Amino acid sequence: MSDTREKILMTALRLFARDGYEAVSVSTIAGELGMTKGALYKHYKNKRDIFDSIVERMYQIDAQRAEEYEVPPDVNRCYFFNPFSVEILHKVMARIIESYYENPRELFLFFYYPSDEYISYLMTVDELEFYDEIECDDLFEGHDMRERIMIFQLPDYE
């Protein structure tokens, strides 16, 4: 990525965080950078294109961090609040399972508000055993079936 594209993204991110997406215009971003709107449009089609590029960059950073995350050997509970894509979940699970094999222990994984994609994936992970489900659909109006906690475990290998 060119330095100019990077500067545009970082400036836009700062402005979006400070003022909100709706309040920031392409003119505002360009002005903050000391460039014309025309010069900015050579790099991005519009404000949405800039925003989508920021989201993509964050996804890439999250995926990289998930791949590199070292699970501490004494961790025996992991909590997920459906914050990321299934692709990142695959990487996180690989790190958890790697830690589990390096330091065998009873390990429970709690998934709050899991998507169908999460559940489908988790049911195919050989090392995981479904442990329990806690229904939470009565906590909020609407009785959303995803309002639950799915619990999986990696059995203790003593």
Express each pLDDT in 3-51 by its tens digit: 999 999 999 999 999 999 999 999 999 999 999 999 999 999 999 999 9
For the chain, how many residues are written?
158
75 in the same domain as 59: no
User: Which SS3 state, helix, strand or coil, does residue 91 take?
Assistant: helix
Torsions phi, psi of 71, nearest 5?
A: -80, 120
| 10-14, 65-69, 94-98, 118-122: least confidently modelled range | 65-69
Of 35, 66, 97, the position where a domain reaches its end is 66
Q: How far is CA 105 from CA 68, 93, 101, 121, in A?
A: 21, 15, 9, 22
The torsion region of residue 98 among left (phi > 0), alpha (psi -120 to 50) and beta comes to: alpha
Measured CA angle at 62 (ends 100, 50), to 5 deg: 170
Of 50, 66, 82, the position where a domain reaches its end is 66
pLDDT(139) > 80 = no
pLDDT score of 64: 82
Number of domains within the chain: 2
84 in the same domain as 142: yes
Q: Are strands 107-112 and 77-80 parallel, antiparallel or unpaired?
A: parallel
Mean pLDDT on 52-69: 85
Question: Which CATH number belongs to the domain containing residue 55 in this structure?
Answer: 1.10.10.60
pLDDT score of 158: 56
Domain that holds residue 89: 70-154
